[in-house]
A = this chain, B = another copy of it.
Amino acid sequence: MYDVAERSGVSIATVSRVYRTPDSVRAQTRERVLEAARQLGYVPSGNARGLASRTTGVLGLCFPDMADPDAEADAEADSDADDAVMLYSDQIIRGMERAARRHGYALLIAASMEDGPESVVAKVAGRVDGFAVLARTVPTEDLEVISRRLPVVMIAGPREIDHLDHIVVANADGERELARHLIEDHGLRRLAFVGGEVESPDAEARFLGFRQACRDAGLPVPDAPDLRAEMMTQAEGARAAEALLDRAGERPEGMLFANDQMAVGALRALERRGVRVPEDIAVTGFDGIPLSRIVQPPLTTVRQPIRRLGEQAVELLVQRLGNSGAEPVSLMLPVSLIRRASCGCG
C-alpha cells in the first residue's frame, strides 16, 4: 500500500479511500492509484482491513466432521448413487451462501476435526463477524465463551445456551402429522417407533410427536422408542426392522423411523424377509432426502427445509449484527408431510 501510494504520488490514506469510498477521491487521482496498484500487483490485505475496521464481511459455519451417513450404504449400492447424495451440511452451506451473498457477505466453512491443534470453532470465530453452528458440533463451553463476543446462531440443536438465537424445524409437528396419517387415514393401530440416541434433539422431538399422535388417537402412549439407533444409518435401520419382526407378540402394522436413512435400510431388510411394503407393513422416514424418492417403494416421509435453515441462520446473524441488543430469537420452520407408496398412499 505504501508502494502504491508512493508510485502514484499520494498518501496511503488516499489509497485506502480509493478502495473504500471511490467517490471521495477525484477521478483522476483514483485512476492513477488504480494503475499503480495494477502494476505492482497490489491486493488489499483482508486481515489488516479487518483488524483496523473490526469487521470482516464474512460469516461462518461450523459443522460436524461426520463421515457421510451413506458411506456404508455406498458399498452395497450403485456407485452412481454417491454423486446424487446431498449431505445435510451441503444444503445448509448452500442456503447460507445464498443468503450471505445477498447481504454482501462471504462464507467461511469448517468442519470440526477430531484433534485439531486449536478448536476449529475458535479459528472460525476469530475470522468472522458472526457464525452458525450445527447441533452438537462444538462443546457448549466453547460456545458460551465465544458467543459473548460475537453473534452465534444454533442450527437444529437444543437451546444449549439461552442467549443464543436458534433455529429448528418442526420435528414434533411433522412426526405427529405423519403418525396421525397412518392411524386415521390408513387405519393402522400397532405402530413401532425407531428412534435415535437420547442426546439427539431431532430424534427425540420426533418421538415426542409420535407420542402426541398416539395420545390424540387414544392409542397406548409409549414411554420410549421401541428401539434406539446410535448413528441412524441404513444398516441400523435394517437391523431394527428385523428385530421388530422377530419380536414376540403381534407384528406391527407400521414402522416409523426417526430418519430416512434407517427407513431405507428397513425397506431392504423387509424385502429380504419377504415382507411386503406397504401391504404387510407400512414404513415411514423423516427428512425427505433424495434417496427417499428413488427407493422401492418410494418412502413416505416428512420433508424438512434444510436450505431454509441455512438462509434463516444468515438472516438472524445479519439482524443481530445490526441490532445486538435484541432478545434472543427462536425460530421453528414448518415441515411438510410427503405421502408416497410406502405407507399405502399413491
Residues of A at under 8 Å CB distance from B? 19, 37-38, 41-51, 56-58, 65, 80, 83-84, 86-87, 90-91, 93-94, 97, 101, 104, 106-111, 113, 116-118, 120, 122-127, 141, 145-146, 148-150, 288-290, 293-294, 303, 306, 338
Q: Give 9 nearest A-B pairs by CB, closest first.
A: A46-B126, A46-B127, A41-B148, A47-B50, A84-B290, A106-B110, A47-B51, A47-B47, A86-B86
A306 to B338, alpha carbons, bound, how many Å?
Answer: 31
Contact between B122 and A43, CB atoms less than 8 A apart:
yes
Closest to A98 in B: B111
Q: When chains A and B are docked, how far (Å) is the Cα of A1 from the Cα of B94?
A: 35
Chain B contacts for A47, CB-based, 8 A: 46-48, 50-51, 56, 126-127
* Nearest-neighbor residue (CB-CB) of A63 within chain B: B97
Q: A65-B101, A101-B111 are in contact. Are A51 and B44 (CB under 8 A)?
A: no
Could you pull out 9 A-B pairs where Cβ atoms are within 8 angstroms? A38-B145, A41-B149, A43-B150, A46-B126, A47-B48, A80-B288, A80-B303, A93-B109, A101-B110
Contacts of A46 in B (CB 8 A): 47, 50, 123, 125-127
Q: Is the CB of B126 within 8 A of A44?
A: yes
In the complex, the answer to whether B90 meets A86 with C-beta atoms within 8 Å is yes
Residue from B57, B108, B146 within 8 A of A107 (CB atoms)? B108
**Is B83 touching A84 in the complex (CB atoms < 8 A)?**
no
Residues of B within 8 A of A42 (CB): 145, 149
Contacts of A116 in B (CB 8 A): 104
Contacts of A113 in B (CB 8 A): 101, 104
Give the shortest distance, in Å, between A128 (CB) and chain B (any CB): 8
What CA separation (Å) do A41 and B110 show in the bound complex? 21
A149 — which chain B residues lie within 8 A by C-beta?
Answer: 41-43
Q: A47-B51, A47-B127 are in contact. List 16 more A-B contacts (CB 8 A).
A: A43-B145, A43-B146, A43-B150, A45-B126, A47-B50, A47-B126, A49-B126, A84-B84, A84-B290, A86-B86, A97-B109, A101-B110, A101-B111, A106-B127, A107-B110, A127-B127
